[in-house]
Structure formats: C-alpha cells, structure tokens
C-alpha cells in the first residue's frame, strides 16, 4: 500500500513497506468521485479492491513492479503466482497478448465476462515480469461488471487483480469480506455490493496448440465447447484437479476442516447443503445453509464463498458438505470445495 507521502505526491512511487505507514483503508462509493479516486490511487501505485462479476479483485497497475510487489505482500502470497491482467476492451487485450483463432473466438463469445485467456505475451511493458511470474504468456480478462469497467476505462492501463483475500483464504464476494482480510493492508475498497457469479473466471490457455482448460469457473466447460464446436481438454494433476501454475491444491480454505460428499452429519458439524435433499442427522443446533434449495447451480455458485465464510464463523470445527453435481458451474464449485477440503 502507499505510504502517506506517496498519497500526497502523485509523482511518487508505491511504498512496499508495512508498519508505520499503515493507515485505514478508504471505503469508496461507485459514483464518479469513487471511481476517480480508485483510478488515481491505482495510477500512483496504490492497491484498490473493486468488484468484478466473479469475485472482488485487488487491483494494482500491471506495469508497476513496485505496486505488484506490494500487492503480493498485502495478500501474504507464499510465492509469486502469475496474475490476471484486467483490461477495459477486447481491443486493449490484443495490445497485451497475441490472440490465435481460438482465442479470438472465445473472446468474441465471452468478453466482457468471466473468462480469462492465457495467451503469448505481445507487449512486455504492459504487464511487468513480476506480475507474470517471469512467464512469456499472460492471463487477460475483460470483466463485465460496470464498476470494474469504469475503473479500467479511466485507468487506461492493464490492472492486475487477484482475488482480494489473504492468500489461501476464501475469495471475497462482498466488500465486507475484503475488509475482513485486508483492512489496513490496502489503500481502498470500492463498495459495489455482492458479486453476481461468485466463483472466479474460467481460465483457458490458447498457446498455439489445442486450447486447455486450466481452471473451471464462471463460464462452463459446456459453453466453451459449444462456442468452439469441439471438446476441450483439461490439464490435470494427480488428484484429478485442473492445474494452473500457482493454483495450490489447498486453497479457498476456511479455518474449519471441510468434509465433502457428506451423506450424514456428525454432532457439532456445520452443514452446507445443495438441493432439496438433506443428509441424515442434521440436528437443530447445527448451523445449516443451503446453496440452492431448488438445486440451481448458478445460485449455488453465487452463494458459495459467502456461505463458507458464514459457516466458518459459526465456530464449528468441521463443515460437512453435501454432494454437488459437477456439471456446468458445478465443475467450478466442486473444484473450489475440493481445494477447501485439501490437506493443509
Ligand atoms: O475471476 C477471477 O479470475 C478473479 C477476478 C478478480 O478477476 N481473479 C482471480 O485471480 O481469480 P487469482 O490471482 O486468484 O487467480 C489467477 C489464476 C492463477 O491460478 C494463475 O496461476 C493463473 O490465473 N494464471 C495467470 N497467468 C497465467 C499464465 N500466464 N499461465 C497460467 N496460468 C496463469
Ligand atoms: Mg484467488
């Protein structure tokens, strides 16, 4: 985050120091003044969280290595994972990366929206080495959320934005979640309400060969396959989860342990349900939330991270999770729950 001196001096560069300069995180509105303040903080190397249609992102100027370093520090990332560069328009995206025919087709079908394309880097000054973790490829996304679009339009440079949570914790789908993790560690948060989709973007690599699904997310595999007219492969690790460099097996972790595919509930467990059927043994004292009583996977994705936070704050040692079908957005939900349940 910025030091006090930097905040007063628009020519200043970002401080990577924590400690004496720590100050309250500004709460910004989504009006003209809030957007202008967000963009000017980003332009001087500040860290600003803002809503996207998937989850809240923690933004920094993609060109500014000092700002990106302070972003990793604020999140407490264990290592430098490549970040997604957010841009305002598909035309901006094509100045940052090289788009092959597949990438063009996917961008036309899903941008603006919850899709990230990993493509060969075109302009290395647009996204600094540190933000790419030294890779020659770059992840790019054009978000559809009006607040994100307003900020990006006003900035005019790519903004890297990982999810605005402490590393390894549950992704934020509301500004309260951002502040719970990052208050005092970042310069500002734009308070734009709850995010509509609730899981992160789908990541597809288009690096010359066949496209590869690196992370299931807000655009379903089925929708991507329909746009391309053929099936798409995943890069899988030994436990069958898609891999993207920097995707830790244990991620999205609540403090409580997570027990998947629960068909019965044990005393003292908090419970996360899906659909009309309950596992046996749910007692009245347990904290129970249903991602979607009607069995709607879109509704379930939107509720996922907020409900995990609420169940975690109930103080239960374990969260029992009912089975969720891995179809459509269910693939992303199951992926996140597997990571939440992984050994830590
Ligand atoms: O919905 C989202 O994608 C959110 C919002 C804020 O846009 N962002 C997000 O960022 O989820 P993050 O940093 O939590 O996840 C970025 C993922 C990481 O798993 C990273 O490995 C992958 O993108 N990634 C970025 N650049 C890559 C590259 N060049 N090659 C492979 N994977 C890459
Ligand atoms: Mg994340």
pLDDT digits (tens, 9 = 90+) for 17-37: 343 355 689 999 999 999 999
Tens digit of each residue's pLDDT, the chain (344 residues): 787 555 544 333 344 434 335 568 999 999 999 999 999 999 999 999 999 999 999 999 999 999 998 998 899 876 678 999 999 999 999 999 999 999 999 999 999 999 999 999 999 999 998 899 888 899 999 999 999 999 999 999 999 999 999 988 999 999 999 999 999 999 999 999 999 999 999 999 999 889 999 999 999 999 999 999 999 988 655 554 445 554 555 666 889 999 999 999 999 999 999 999 877 777 777 899 999 999 999 899 989 988 999 999 999 999 999 999 998 899 989 988 998 898 77
Of the residues 62, 75, 116, which should be mutated to test ligand 1's pocket, given the most ligand atoms within 8 Å of the CB? Answer: 116
Of the residues 216, 246, 250, which should be mutated to test ligand 1's pocket, given the most ligand atoms within 8 Å of the CB? Answer: 246
In terms of Cβ atoms closer than 10 Å to its own Cβ (0-12, 13-18, 19+), residue 208 is exposed
Closest CA to 223 of 201, 196, 245: 201
**Which residues lie with the beta carbon below 6 Å from any ligand 1 atom?**
52, 54-55, 57, 81-84, 116, 118, 132, 135, 137-139, 141, 161-163, 200-201, 203, 214-215, 244-247
* Cα(166) to centroid(ligand 2), Å: 9
pLDDT score at 11:
33
Q: Which atom of ligand 1 is nearest the CA belonging to 137?
A: 29
Edge to edge, the sheet with strand 288-290 lists: 257-259, 318-321, 270-273, 288-290
List C-alpha distances in Å: 196 to 5, 51, 113, 300: 37, 10, 11, 11
Q: Which atom of ligand 1 is nearest the CA belonging to 246?
A: 21
pLDDT score at 9:
40
Closest CA to 233 of 207, 206, 213: 213
> Packing angle between helix 297-313 and helix 330-341, nearest 10 degrees?
20
pTM of the model: 0.86
* Contact (Cβ atoms closer than 8 angstroms) between residue 88 and residue 72: no
DSSP character for 81? -
Cα distance between residue 173 and residue 164, in whole Å: 9
Q: Which ligand is nearest to the CA of 202?
A: 1
Q: Give the count of beta carbons closer than 10 Å to the beta carbon of residue 136.
A: 10
* Cα(87) to centroid(ligand 2), Å: 18
* Cα(9) to centroid(ligand 2), Å: 31
**Nearest C-alpha to atom 15 of ligand 1 is from which residue?**
162
> Packing angle between helix 32-43 and helix 146-155, nearest 10 degrees?
50
DSSP character for 58? E
* Cα(202) to centroid(ligand 1), Å: 9
Residues sharing a CB contact under 8 Å with residue 124, sequence separation 6 or more, in sequence order: none
pLDDT score at 18:
41
In terms of Cβ atoms closer than 10 Å to its own Cβ (0-12, 13-18, 19+), residue 276 is exposed
pLDDT score at 253:
80
* Cα(282) to centroid(ligand 2), Å: 31
* Cα(308) to centroid(ligand 2), Å: 15
Question: pLDDT tens digits for 293-306?
Answer: 999 998 999 899 88
């Amino acid at each position: 985050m910025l030091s006090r001196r930097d905040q007063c001096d628009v020519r200043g560069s970002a401080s990577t120091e924590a400690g004496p300069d720590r100050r309250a995180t500004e709460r910004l509105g989504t009006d003209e003044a809030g957007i202008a303040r967000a963009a000017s903080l980003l332009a001087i190397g500040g860290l600003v969280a803002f809503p996207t249609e998937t989850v809240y992102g923690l933004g920094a100027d993609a060109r500014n290595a000092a700002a990106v370093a302070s972003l990793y520090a604020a999140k407490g990332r264990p290592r430098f994972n490549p970040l997604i560069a957010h841009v305002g328009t598909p035309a901006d995206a094509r100045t940052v990366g090289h788009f092959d025919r597949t990438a063009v087709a996917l961008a036309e079908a899903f941008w603006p929206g919850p899709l990230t394309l990993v493509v060969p880097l075109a302009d290395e000054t647009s996204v600094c080495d540190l933000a790419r973790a030294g890779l020659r490829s770059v992840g790019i996304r054009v978000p559809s959320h009006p607040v994100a679009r307003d900020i990006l339009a006003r900035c005019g440079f790519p903004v890297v934005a990982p999810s605005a949570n402490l590393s390894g914790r549950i992704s934020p789908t509301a500004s309260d979640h951002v502040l719970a993790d990052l208050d005092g560690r970042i310069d500002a948060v734009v308070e734009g309400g709850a995010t509509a989709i609730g899981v992160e973007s789908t990541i597809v690599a288009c690096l010359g060969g066949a496209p590869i699904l690196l992370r299931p997310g807000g655009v379903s595999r089925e929708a991507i396959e329909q746009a391309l007219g053929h099936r798409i492969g995943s890069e899988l690790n030994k436990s069958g989860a898609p891999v993207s460099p920097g995707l830790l097996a244990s991620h999205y972790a609540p403090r409580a342990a997570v027990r998947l595919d629960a068909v019965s509930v044990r005393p003292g467990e908090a419970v996360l349900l899906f659909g009309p059927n309950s596992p046996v043994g749910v007692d009245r004292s347990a904290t129970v939330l249903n991602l979607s009583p009607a069995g709607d996977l879109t509704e379930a994705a939107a509720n996922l991270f907020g409900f995990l936070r609420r169940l975690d704050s109930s103080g239960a040692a374990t969260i029992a999770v009912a089975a969720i079908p891995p179809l459509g957005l269910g693939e992303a939900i199951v992926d996140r729950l597997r990571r939440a349940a992984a050994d830590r």
